[in-house]
């Protein structure tokens, strides 16, 4: 057995599910990549405009500046231009790959694809949907999550682009579609929050809210502006005094005023039913200190200096938020009794709060020292951390809904190389294996969850890393289809297991049917017949279809025999009446057959049963060929007699003249274990017994030899003695007349 590291090692055959795609690789640094990318895109974008009305090239320039502000590398800023160029290229993947490399092409094309998916989702959404419609939010969150699984930079590019669109519409007073504003407020901004990129989160919330509720926005903005000068003067005095007093206590603090975010104020007013004057963070300061120890020292002094509001204290250092955010939050009252919110954090915490997960994209450039206080031992570790933050966001959404959670019916787990796989709730490692690749599912023999071996029917949980152990060959277990054992939840995986077993049964039926048909053809002396031609004549598409039907006992071999032995032609009614009129004394016509009651009537020996004296025989009147002579036990004769009993006549063998030396052809079938020299030994028996062989056909099937000899005999009774000698030849199982 071997361990499967993920879909990439397993191969891409079967067009693996679109969730399992190449993971993010660092964009290779190229000389003047940003300038080259802009020059590449400029001819396409100069005269183009976006849906917002903004010039596309100007939009890309501003997005590049936003990326720079949150620590985006030159390579990622270059990819931003290539995203927009994709719209104008017939084969964007190939064209960009030739000019900049596969990594740039993959990022640009994937980001462009996400743009189209989100545009379609907005177009399909009804304008009457509520701002917080969970169905719309769920689907958008899901698309964002799955896009993020493909490349960790896709969403960062989308966040920066959406922020620039909001800025442009606000600056130019261009109306924005409500669906676009809702998506910005309820999908993009929470994503920025979950990833810890607060500076984008706050600005995006305020701008989106400005378009969705312009009257409320203007009213709160007016209230903020009314006493701005007075408030800013008092806050500056408080800021300076607090910073000086902390430094006197040997705490090297930098104290800043914190921006006032209108959407945050409105949410607090509505959520807590507060008036504007009672919202604490209208007056807010941020204290940045060197170490965690200094954070708690500063907090202690602030609580000594001012009167704290105990219920408003939060320690996000001891218990960070799901997105990694750390800080101390407290609300105190100044000497005049007015509330002031104070945040205390280290410089590293501050940088992470501002840039959040964006730091992960820059750590390689900064080396192992990391970026903005965040280090990562590998690209894999960074990606796992980010994806788990997103999965935690999904759980938050689910937990915040009444009744059925938004994601209650599905989970997201990770492959060892950090690709996301979407599965139904309750899915097991076997479900996961089939989602990766059908072959991996069939050969699944073991599983590890976060590095720990578990039974294959263990239910998976959100965010777990799943590693599958497979056998080199083999198939699924029938136990997997037993619902009581809990191995499979996914309908897709169950269908694949059933298909595998059905294919095995079909294979066995085909093998069984093939053997039966080939034996029948051997008996009929038609081994040279092409099997596909035979199947076509019988109405089957392929010979395997015929074999399967025969193997399942759904198609009788008699139908094939009927095709190979066409019914004997019969006389027209008038011809038959003429035969009746010619009745007279018995004679011995050609062939040595005495036809009772008919005069000089033409006879012929039937080829299907090849009668010979002293066989019990019957006659059947044919069309234009006289009377066909059959053995009494011939199946063909019995069927014809059942259909047309009036055409059966009595016949018997005449007494041939001894000097005539008349002989009759008879078919003999021999079944034996195949071996070298078998045909020679049997032929020697016929030669010793002075039995002339005029034809022979042989077929070997799985070690068994089938032989048909056509021999000439004067008396079939003599033939039985010869066959008993043939049956004694080593390896011969049976020798009989056909």
Asked if residue 328 has pLDDT above 90, the reply is yes
Q: Give the chain's radius of gyration (CA, Å).
A: 45
The stretch 469-482 carries a mean pLDDT of 90
Identify the top-confidence range among 137-151, 259-273, 477-491: 477-491
The stretch 186-205 carries a mean pLDDT of 81
| β-pairing verdict for 664-673 and 704-713 | antiparallel
| Helices and strands counted in the chain (H then E) | 28, 22
Asked if residue 18 has pLDDT above 60, the reply is no
| β-pairing verdict for 651-653 and 627-631 | unpaired
Band (pLDDT 50/70/90 cuts) for residue 24 is very low
Helix (H) or strand (E) holding 544: helix 543-551
Q: Which residues pair with 699 in a beta bridge?
A: 706
pLDDT at position 493, please?
92
The stretch 555-577 carries a mean pLDDT of 61
pLDDT digits (tens, 9 = 90+) for 70-84: 777 788 888 899 999
Asked if residue 25 has pLDDT above 60, the reply is no
Asked if residue 590 has pLDDT above 80, the reply is no
Band (pLDDT 50/70/90 cuts) for residue 701 is confident
pLDDT at position 405, please?
41
Asked if residue 127 has pLDDT above 50, the reply is no
pLDDT at position 406, please?
40
Tokens for 461? 């949980």
pLDDT at position 363, please?
34
Strands annotated E in 209-338: 254-257, 284-289, 307-308, 314-315, 328-333
pLDDT at position 576, please?
42
pLDDT digits (tens, 9 = 90+) for 425-442: 899 999 999 988 899 999
Question: 379, 386 in Cβ contact below 8 A?
Answer: no
Three-state SS string over 553-590 comes to: CCCCHHHHHHHHCCCCCCCCHHHHHHHHHCECCCECCC
Identify the top-confidence range among 9-13, 433-437, 463-467: 433-437
pLDDT at position 315, please?
94
Range name among 5-9, 11-15, 431-435, 449-453 with the lowest pLDDT average: 11-15
Question: 571, 622 in Cβ contact below 8 A?
Answer: yes
Cα(562)–Cα(558) distance, integer angstroms: 6
Show Cβ contacts of residue 556 under 8 Å, excluding neighbours closer than 6 positions. none
Band (pLDDT 50/70/90 cuts) for residue 273 is low
Helix (H) or strand (E) holding 149: helix 134-150
Question: 267, 216 in Cβ contact below 8 A?
Answer: no
Tokens for 712? 């000439």
Band (pLDDT 50/70/90 cuts) for residue 693 is confident
pLDDT at position 462, please?
72
Residue 703 burial (CB count, 10 A): 8
- Would the CA dihedral through 380, 381, 386, 389 be positive or negative? positive
| β-pairing verdict for 466-470 and 2-4 | antiparallel
Helix (H) or strand (E) holding 666: strand 664-673
Percentage of the chain beyond pLDDT 70 is 73
- Location of structure tokens 């063998």: 653
The stretch 499-528 carries a mean pLDDT of 84
Q: Which residue has the higher pLDDT, 132 or 304?
A: 304
- Classify domain 664-737 by CATH architecture: 2-Layer Sandwich (3.30)
Asked if residue 115 has pLDDT above 50, the reply is yes
Q: Quick check: do 21-212 and 215-376 share a fold? A: no
Question: 645, 621 in Cβ contact below 8 A?
Answer: no
pLDDT at position 65, please?
93
Q: Which residue has the higher pLDDT, 508 or 358?
A: 508
pLDDT at position 567, please?
54
215-376: CATH superfamily: Beta Polymerase, domain 2 (3.30.460.10)
pLDDT at position 191, please?
77
Helix (H) or strand (E) holding 667: strand 664-673
Band (pLDDT 50/70/90 cuts) for residue 8 is very low
Residues 168-172: contacts with CB under 8 Å, at least 24 apart:
168/52, 168/53, 168/54, 168/59, 168/62, 169/52, 169/207, 169/211, 170/207, 170/210, 170/211, 172/53, 172/54
Cα(355)–Cα(156) distance, integer angstroms: 11
Q: Which residues pair with 672 in a beta bridge?
A: 705, 732
φ/ψ of 700, rounded to 5, equals -115, 125
φ/ψ of 520, rounded to 5, equals -65, -40
pLDDT at position 441, please?
93
- The CATH number of 21-212 is which of 1.10.40.30, 3.40.1030.10, 1.10.3210.10, 1.20.1300.10? 1.10.3210.10
Cα(316)–Cα(328) distance, integer angstroms: 6
Residue 472 burial (CB count, 10 A): 7
φ/ψ of 346, rounded to 5, equals -85, 170
Show Cβ contacts of residue 465 under 8 Å, excluding neighbours closer than 6 positions. 384, 413, 414, 415, 416, 449, 450, 451
- Map out the domains of the chain as residue ranges: 21-212, 215-376, 500-564, 573-660, 664-737
- The closest of 561, 579, 562 to 570, measured between CA atoms, is 579
Asked if residue 577 has pLDDT above 50, the reply is no
Q: Any idea what the Cα angle at residue 233 is, between residues 229 and 234, rounded to 5°?
A: 120
Q: Which residues pair with 49 in a beta bridge?
A: 55
End-to-end CA distance of the chain: 53
SS3 492: helix
pLDDT at position 192, please?
80
Band (pLDDT 50/70/90 cuts) for residue 581 is very low
Asked if residue 705 has pLDDT above 90, the reply is no
pLDDT digits (tens, 9 = 90+) for 634-684: 888 888 888 888 888 888 877 665 545 678 888 888 899 888 888 889 988
pLDDT at position 174, please?
92
Helix-strand-coil split of the chain, %, nearest 5: 50, 15, 30
Q: What is the mean pLDDT of the chain?
A: 76
- The closest of 671, 241, 675, 193 to 389, measured between CA atoms, is 193
Asked if residue 355 has pLDDT above 80, the reply is no
Cα(691)–Cα(705) distance, integer angstroms: 22
Question: 46, 57 in Cβ contact below 8 A?
Answer: yes
| β-pairing verdict for 314-315 and 307-308 | unpaired
Q: Which residue has the higher pLDDT, 272 or 19?
A: 272
Q: Which residue has the higher pLDDT, 6 or 646?
A: 646
Cα(254)–Cα(218) distance, integer angstroms: 32
pLDDT at position 350, please?
85
Asked if residue 548 has pLDDT above 50, the reply is yes
pLDDT at position 9, please?
32
Three-state SS string over 398-413 comes to: HHCCCCCCCCCCEEEE
Query: Which string of b and e fits 335-371 if b means at least 16 CB within 10 Å?
Result: eeeebbbbbbbbebbbbbbbbbbbbbbbbbeeeeebb
pLDDT at position 585, please?
38
Asked if residue 547 has pLDDT above 70, the reply is yes
């Amino acid at each position: 057995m071997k361990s499967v590291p993920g879909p990439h090692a397993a191969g891409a055959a079967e067009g693996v599910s679109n969730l399992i795609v190449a993971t993010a690789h660092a964009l290779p640094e190229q000389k003047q990549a940003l300038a080259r990318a802009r020059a590449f895109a400029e001819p396409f974008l100069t005269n183009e405009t976006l849906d917002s009305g903004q010039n596309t090239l100007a939009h890309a320039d501003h997005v590049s500046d936003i990326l720079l502000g949150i620590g985006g590398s030159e390579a990622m800023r270059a990819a931003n231009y290539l995203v927009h160029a994709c719209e104008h290229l017939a084969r964007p993947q190939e064209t960009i790959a030739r000019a900049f490399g596969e990594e740039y092409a993959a990022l640009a094309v994937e980001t462009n694809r996400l743009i189209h998916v989100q545009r379609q989702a907005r177009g399909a959404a009804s304008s009457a949907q509520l701002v917080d419609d969970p169905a719309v939010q769920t689907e958008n969150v899901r698309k964002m999550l799955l896009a993020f699984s493909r490349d960790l930079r896709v969403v960062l590019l989308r966040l920066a682009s959406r922020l620039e669109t909001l800025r442009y519409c606000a600056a130019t007073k261009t109306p924005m579609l409500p669906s676009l504003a809702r998506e910005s407020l309820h999908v993009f901004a929470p994503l920025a929050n979950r990833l810890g990129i607060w500076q984008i989160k706050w600005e995006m919330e305020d701008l989106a809210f400005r378009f969705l509720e312009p009257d409320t926005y203007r009213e709160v903005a007016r209230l903020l502006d009314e006493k701005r000068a007075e408030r800013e003067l008092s806050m500056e005095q408080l800021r300076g005094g607090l910073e000086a007093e902390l430094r006197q206590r040997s705490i090297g603090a930098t104290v800043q005023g914190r921006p006032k975010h209108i959407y945050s104020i409105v949410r607090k007013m509505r959520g807590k039913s507060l008036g504007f004057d009672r919202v604490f963070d209208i007056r807010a300061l941020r204290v940045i200190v060197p170490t965690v120890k200094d954070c708690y020292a500063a907090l202690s002094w602030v609580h000594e200096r001012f009167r704290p509001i105990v219920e408003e204290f939060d320690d996000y250092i001891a218990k960070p938020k799901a997105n990694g955010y750390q800080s101390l939050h407290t609300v105190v009252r100044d000497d005049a009794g007015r509330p002031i919110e104070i945040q205390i954090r280290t410089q590293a915490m501050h940088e992470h709060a501002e840039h959040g997960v964006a730091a992960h994209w820059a750590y390689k450039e900064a080396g192992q020292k990391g970026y903005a206080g965040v280090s990562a031992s590998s690209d894999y570790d960074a990606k796992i951390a980010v994806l788990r933050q997103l999965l935690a966001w999904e759980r938050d959404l689910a937990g915040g809904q009444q009744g059925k959670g938004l994601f209650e019916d599905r989970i997201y787990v990770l492959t060892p190389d950090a690709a996301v796989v979407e599965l139904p709730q309750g899915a097991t490692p076997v479900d996961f294996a089939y989602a990766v690749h059908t072959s991996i599912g069939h050969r699944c023999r073991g599983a590890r969850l976060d590095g720990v071996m578990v039974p294959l029917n263990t239910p998976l949980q959100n965010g777990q890393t799943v590693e599958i152990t497979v056998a080199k060959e083999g198939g699924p277990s029938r136990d997997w289809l037993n619902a009581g054992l809990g191995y499979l939840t996914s309908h897709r995986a169950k269908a694949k297991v059933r298909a595998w077993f059905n294919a095995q049964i079909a294979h066995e039926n085909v093998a069984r049917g093939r053997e039966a048909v080939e034996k029948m053809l051997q008996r009929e002396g038609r081994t040279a017949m092409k099997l596909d031609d035979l199947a076509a004549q019988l109405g089957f598409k392929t010979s395997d279809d015929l074999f399967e039907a025969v193997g399942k006992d759904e198609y009788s071999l008699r139908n094939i025999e009927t095709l190979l032995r066409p019914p004997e032609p019969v006389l027209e009614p008038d011809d038959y009446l003429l035969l009746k009129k010619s009745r007279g004394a018995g004679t011995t016509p050609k062939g040595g057959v005495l036809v009772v009651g008919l005069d000089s009537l033409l006879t012929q020996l039937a080829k299907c049963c090849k009668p010979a004296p002293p066989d019990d025989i019957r006659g059947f009147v044919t069309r234009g060929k006289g009377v066909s002579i059959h053995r009494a036990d011939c199946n063909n004769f019995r069927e014809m007699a059942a259909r047309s009993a009036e055409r059966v006549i009595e016949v018997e063998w005449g007494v041939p003249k001894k000097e005539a030396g008349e002989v009759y052809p008879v078919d003999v079938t021999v079944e034996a274990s195949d071996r070298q020299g078998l045909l020679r030994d049997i032929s020697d028996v016929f030669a010793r017994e002075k039995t002339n062989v005029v034809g022979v056909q042989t077929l070997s099937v799985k070690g068994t030899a089938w032989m048909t000899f056509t021999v000439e005999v004067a008396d079939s009774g003599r033939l039985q003695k010869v066959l008993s000698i043939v049956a004694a030849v080593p390896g011969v199982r049976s020798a009989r007349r056909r």
